[in-house]
Structure 1
Amino acid sequence: MSDRTTSRPTRLVLMNPGPVVTDDRVRSALAGPDMCHREPEFSELMTRVRHKVTLVGGGDERHTSVVLTGSGTCAVEAAVTSAVPADGALLVVDNGHYGERFQHIAATYGIRTRRLEFGWAAPVHLAAVDRALADDPGLTHVGVVHHETSSGMLNDVAAIARIAHAHGRQVIVDAVSSIGAERLSLAEDGIDWLAGSANKCLEGAPGLAFVCAARTAFEALGGGPRRTYYLDLYRHHTAQEKAAAPAFTPGIPAFHAFDAALDLALAEGRQARHERYEGLARQLRDGLERLGLELLLPAEQRAAALTAVRIPAGTGYGELHRGLRAEGFVIYGVQEQLAEDFFRLSTMGRMTTGDIALFLTTLARLLPAHR
């Protein structure tokens, strides 16, 4: 009888959209020194991370960031619940699972919404956003996802921000799956509130999220509602900016890792990283199409870091997942409406062209038509 453990792959390639395969330097940083979060050493670490996050988000001296211990969802929730005033309301731009998340967050806190449902994997109609804001002066904010990870759709948040600002409204952008991979800038795109995560295209470890905005916007929250305790951005901003200390106990190892990951991101540069991600996605998509597989979105609508693929006839997601997992590749299902017909392949993280080539060879061997 053979020992089955000897056939397990030595390296697992994560093709799920976060957490991602990280650089060795990021993993090593997780073993950084123990420290107390109320001592100067952590204060310096947190301040460095906040400054670097603001830079990768395209901010300038007018902007700053708050770093939270939690997933990307906590950053989106903190932005919605802190930024929308007591008498305000949120226009929800919904073309997938994460657009719908804006609706669920607002409903949980009793924030009035108007929801524009375009359908999963359907592009946003900018004229509809314009009309909705014109029709309802009580809508103070617009919530939109940059990279709608449920389908791989890339939404034009800069255009939506221009429309919102023409009506005197603010924009909250869920950039959890886009920052680090896509062209996105607080200063250049007019984004009022940007929510992101450490462990996707910024290639850090799981456990940290952040919100970037103008310094004046954070300060203005002092007169707003306190809908939550832990996710109150004014509380976190005041602690981090004025006391150089976290409001609550942070995930210190994740800070060490994020500091290292941000150094790598800044050294690589936003354009170079975007091109690296685009190159991996192009290699993957070209290979998938050569295998006769159907991609969900047309090329002009796809984000750089994720591809949704129709499940081939004669197999199912579970069978594909098990077969590829045994060969060292983790693929990902699709939520709700697309779950029966599609699966997702992320090219986030420290993936290589060799990884993509081996994945395509392995997938071809597992497909019914190639058995």
Structure 2
Amino acid sequence: MVLMNPGPVITDDRVRSALAGPDMCHREPEFSALMTRVRDKVTRVAGGDERHTSVVLTGSGTSAVEAAIGSAVPDGGGLLVLDNGHYGERFAHIAAAYGIRAHRLEHGWATPLDLAAAERALVADPALTHVGVVHQETSSGMLNDVAAVTRIAHAHGREVIVDAVSSIGAERVSLAGDGVDWLAGSANKCLEGAPGLAFVSAAKAAFEGLGTTPKRGYYLDLHRHYLAQEKAVAPAFTPGIPAYYAFDAALDLALAEGWEARHERYTALARRLRAGLEELGLEILLPPEQRAAGLTAVRIPEGIGYAELHRGLRAQGFVIYSAQERLARDYFRLSTMGRMTQADVDRFLEVLAGLLPSQN
């Protein structure tokens, strides 16, 4: 089955084989060594240097975003949410769940961020201590300029929390290079690991500083995880050990390939896919300059509904993904993440053409 959903993705055989690693107790030195390797590799993938580290969580990418928001924004602080899609909106929902004051700057789905408006909001409200922004907005496939957001935030003495769940590994984002303060990511998208692990990367000093702030949560308390993983060299809670095996292998592959080469690989697949879609007369949601390499939102063709399209493609070995909420009626999504090949793209376009009323 060719997975064209934006995670979990098709993985390398070496990653799948790693899932069958030996049974292990998470309180033994063998797991401590595995966890430390994974943390180090994650930090390097996130563009960190000797000043940075990472905390690995057993959970989805959302667990990392929630942990970062709930842990990093102090009592009395506030979060400026740059919202141009479902996952930007999620920042506001998480803040509300924790009782964190948020100012939600709504741009509209699939609309570029207004950086001048973001700066005005920070100037107008000094109590907004943090800015939340999604790097790749998976609801539309839009790539947001987190480096520019970070420059603006830092110019006004604020910190930035970046949701890089769908981008890290195949788009440029860097703790050291861009000055990102808190980066949340996931194992099972552009890093091509198995589902089940997420992470937050930041400066060591930032993790240490969390010890002076009141705790809002328990399982997703980043300082708790940091102390356990950094000081005790052990997990705070029982981790998903098979997912660690797979992530260790996937990170080796990601570091060997490099984000630039992986970006080019995904981009080549996306160009091939998008050109084929347009030849079939299908409309792509975003203009080329706004698109991420790993995801394409496409208007549902006339004369066929999403359910019928999904069913027909799945019968031929392809899994596609519906759009979300306000885009769900008109669009579906296609990922070019993971170990997809050009042959997969070509066969998908052939099968799709056979399902379209306009082509038959």
Shift of residue 195, structure 1, vs aligned partner: 0.1
Match of 2:162? 173
1:76 pairs with one of 65, 69, 76: 65
Match of 2:189? 200
Match of 2:25? 36
Q: Secondary structure at the match of 1:133?
A: helix
Q: Secondary structure at the match of 1:211?
A: strand
Which consecutive residues of structure 2, in runs of 5 or more, have no partner in the other structure?
Answer: none
Match of 1:355? 344
1:291 pairs with one of 241, 260, 280: 280
Q: Provide the rounded CA distance (Å) in 2 between the counterparts of 1:76 and 1:256.
A: 23
Letter in 2 for 1:155: N
Q: Secondary structure at the match of 2:276?
A: helix
Match of 1:8? none
Match of 2:247? 258
Q: Matches of residues 14-29 of structure 1 in structure 2 within 5 Å?
A: 14-29=3-18
Q: Provide the rounded CA distance (Å) in 2 between the counterparts of 1:279 and 1:221.
A: 42
Q: Determine whether 1:244 maps to 2:233.
A: yes
Q: Provide the rounded CA distance (Å) in 2 between the counterparts of 1:140 and 1:176.
A: 22
User: Which deviations, in whole Å up to 9, do the C-alpha atoms of 1:129-154 show, x marking residues without a partner?
Assistant: 00000000000000000000000010
Match of 2:210? 221
1:108 pairs with one of 97, 109, 117: 97
Match of 1:125? 114
Letter in 2 for 1:80: I
Q: Secondary structure at the match of 2:80?
A: strand
Normalising by structure 2, we get a TM-score of 1.00
Letter in 2 for 1:46: M
1:303 pairs with one of 292, 299, 302: 292
Q: Secondary structure at the match of 2:153?
A: helix
| Identity fraction in percent | 79
Q: Provide the rounded CA distance (Å) in 1 between the counterparts of 2:11 and 2:357.
A: 32
User: Which deviations, in whole Å up to 9, do the C-alpha atoms of 1:306-341 show, x marking residues without a partner?
Assistant: 000000110111010000000000000011110000
Q: Secondary structure at the match of 1:350?
A: coil
Match of 1:3? none
User: Which deviations, in whole Å up to 9, do the C-alpha atoms of 1:183-215 show, x marking residues without a partner?
Assistant: 111111110000000000000000000000000
Letter in 2 for 1:18: G
Q: Provide the rounded CA distance (Å) in 1 between the counterparts of 2:214 and 2:321.
A: 38
Q: Secondary structure at the match of 1:271?
A: helix
1:212 pairs with one of 189, 201, 217: 201
Letter in 2 for 1:237: Y
Which consecutive residues of structure 1, in runs of 5 or more, have no partner in the other structure?
Answer: 1-11
Q: Secondary structure at the match of 1:67?
A: strand
Q: Secondary structure at the match of 2:177?
A: helix
Match of 2:359? 370
Q: Provide the rounded CA distance (Å) in 2 between the counterparts of 1:185 and 1:221.
A: 22
User: Which deviations, in whole Å up to 9, do the C-alpha atoms of 1:26-53 show, x marking residues without a partner?
Assistant: 0000000111000000000000000000
Corresponding residue pairs, total: 360
Q: Provide the rounded CA distance (Å) in 2 between the counterparts of 1:62 and 1:118.
A: 34
Match of 1:138? 127
Q: Provide the rounded CA distance (Å) in 2 between the counterparts of 1:358 and 1:140.
A: 49
Letter in 1 for 2:175: L
Structure 1: 4+ residue segments shifted above 2 A: none
